[in-house]
A and B are shown apart, each in its own frame.
Chain A
Amino acid sequence: MDLDRPIPASAPIRQPSESALVVRRLLSRIGFYLFVVIVGAYFALPMVWLVFAPFDAHPTLTAAPPSAFTLGNFPDLLKDPYALPSLVNSVILAVATMVLVVAAAAPAAYALSRVRIPGRDLLLYVLLLFSSVVTGTAAMVPLFLLVFDLGLINTQVGVVLVLAGGLIPAGIFILKDFVDSMPKSYEESARVFGASSFQILRDIVLPYARPGLAVIAVWVVVNVWSNFLIPFILLRDPGQLPAAVVVYNFYTEGGQANLRLLSSFGLLYSIPVVAMYLFVNRRYGFRFYGGIKG
């Protein structure tokens, strides 16, 4: 308290500049909050629409509480023969790709982190570069031909292989970061006790990198869940299409969106991803890892 005393003594001299300072600070605070509100609203409005529109008998593109509340949109949606199976298809694709990516990326990341080979980093960067090409539009024709030659057109195996191929390099890249952060002495002490490489991977590296594996798993699922192009091109049979493709069924032939079905389907489509995020977040707790947030 005694420390406060000298301030009133000098206050009369500083009075005008201090009040100006307060005003300026207040204004900048207001400006900042305004900015946050605008940015927040930009992202929040579609969500609000997604929550309200499915329960509206006559939804429009405005985000407003339902004018005529109904649950009837959902039974109507289930009448569509492809709506529900498409969600199941999405789950199959996402889970299969996730398992494949994690199973391939984890040992690869461990090996690349621990084994010193010339050009290791270059290899990693080239893989990463190609992977963005693989799932990109540019490689669509060769990819189609490749999958066709393999006889995997119109199979979910083909889609899973292509998606996994595109995601594995980035998965290795992210996981390698986790493994790099593990002290070498962990493995060395296990080696001194006679543990084999497999035992070290199973008992020490994988449990240590578990948050990283969770990040990869969620990231793969989200990627596959929202991927439209690859299943759209590689699958012919409408019964096999995932939700991201089927969502385009809810347009009339004239190109008009059926907002009742589209919004209800959109809600069903987003719930699994949100639920998974909440579950994994609770279980492992997402933190910032090597600049990548899960």
Chain B
Amino acid sequence: MADLEIRGLTKVFPGGVRALDELSLHIEDGEFFALLGPSGCGKTTLLRSIAGLETPNSGKILIGGRDVTRLPPGARDLAMVFQDYALYPHMTVADNIAYPLKVRGVGRKERRDTAESVGRSLQIQGAMLDRRPGQLSGGQQQRVALARSIAYRPHVFLFDEPLSNLDARLRLEARTFLKQLQRDLGVTTVYVTHDQAEALALADRMAVMEQGRIRQLDTPSNCFLRPANIFVAGFIGSTPMNLLPATVQDGGLDVAGRKLLIPDAIRAQAKVGDAVILGARPEYVSVSATELPDSLGGIVRVLENLGVDSLVTVEVGDLLVKATVPEERVPAVGDQVWLQPAQGRLLVYRQDDGEQVGAPPVAPIEAPALAPQAG
């Protein structure tokens, strides 16, 4: 078991693409850590650099305090589960699971025993052990890939979008299974995904990445409730957050000619006349059929049924604002409604750099970098 530390890691690919930009990060021993971001944000490059499959241009990687930056992948004591599982088609399931042991020169008998015992804990047993990976379902293949990693007894698990090849329902099952497994094993885990729901559900902490940098490093609930900037705000959440341009006025915020109350937390930092972006999740916007003070009045344009809730799109001036309403209070298209963000859930960002106005007045972009445990 080991913690994982990244110090000022930079990777520039031939051709000038900066996949990692002076990135620093500390992952605690036993932590389930998710790297989240859109494709091309550098999350996979970071994972592959940790694995040793990419060589960073500068910076250091320490596993359990040991500098592994220049060590080959095999000397780093970590196991990786690939997106395509990378199961060897010509080997049986048992041989696949025990391949890490074969590399170390472990005898046939012991390899079989390990494959059976590790397989049993992941419900891979009996005749399935003697099949080829091609004869298994996607979910089974994924468990075989996990079993192979476990058989290696690594200090760190690396997961590269391991659930993305499964269909939606199976993915939810596999997610729960994976979280349970990681908790039982207590192995430090780095998990790369582009699916924000997966990161929120699995991780103890997560880093939201953009263009080789960490835009927010926090717990899933903080990333969801208090996104540090517009990028994170727009990336996290199954229904996209409302991002509305507004200006600060004396005692309030002007949104498309309507007035909203300014949140207490930022009253001190905001100056009259500042251009800001308001962030309000549809889940935290209430819809009223009667006029409310300090609310956004508008006309309902679109209704989308989400199951328990409905997503209402309201035209407020020249803006479209979304809100979710419970099934019993769904308005009709064309109705006049008044929208009000929930107390303490309205986020305010600076229009120029997209960072949050208020509570932690942080420097943009490198906010989490270089800060923790740099020594």
A-side residues, CB < 8 A to B, are 183, 185-186, 188-195, 199, 203-204, 207-208, 210
Contact = CB atoms under 8 A, between A and B. Distances in A.
Given A192-B73, A194-B75, A203 B86 contact: no
A193 B74 contact: yes
B53 A191 contact: yes
B90 A185 contact: no
Interface residues of B, number: 27
Given A183-B86, A191-B72, 6 more contacts: A185-B83, A191-B52, A191-B74, A193-B79, A194-B103, A208-B90
B300 interface: no
A195 B74 contact: yes
Contacts of A189: 80, 82, 86, 148
A186 B86 contact: yes
B13 interface: no
5 closest Cβ pairs, A-B complex: A194-B74, A185-B86, A189-B86, A193-B100, A185-B82
A185 B87 CA distance: 9
B103 A199 contact: yes
Interface of B: 51-53, 72-76, 78-80, 82-84, 86, 88-91, 99-100, 102-104, 148, 152, 158
Contacts of B72: 191
Contacts of B158: 192
Contacts of A203: 88, 99, 102
B103 A192 contact: no
A193 B86 contact: no
18 contacts: A183-B86, A185-B84, A186-B88, A188-B53, A188-B86, A189-B148, A192-B79, A192-B80, A193-B79, A193-B103, A194-B75, A194-B100, A199-B103, A203-B88, A203-B99, A204-B88, A207-B91, A208-B90
Given A188-B53, A208-B89, A210-B90, A193 B84 contact: no
A194 B102 contact: no
A190 B102 CA distance: 11
Contact of A183 (B78, B84, B99, B148): B84
B306 to A, nearest CB: 37
Contacts of B99: 190, 193, 203
Contacts of B100: 193-194
B152 A193 contact: yes
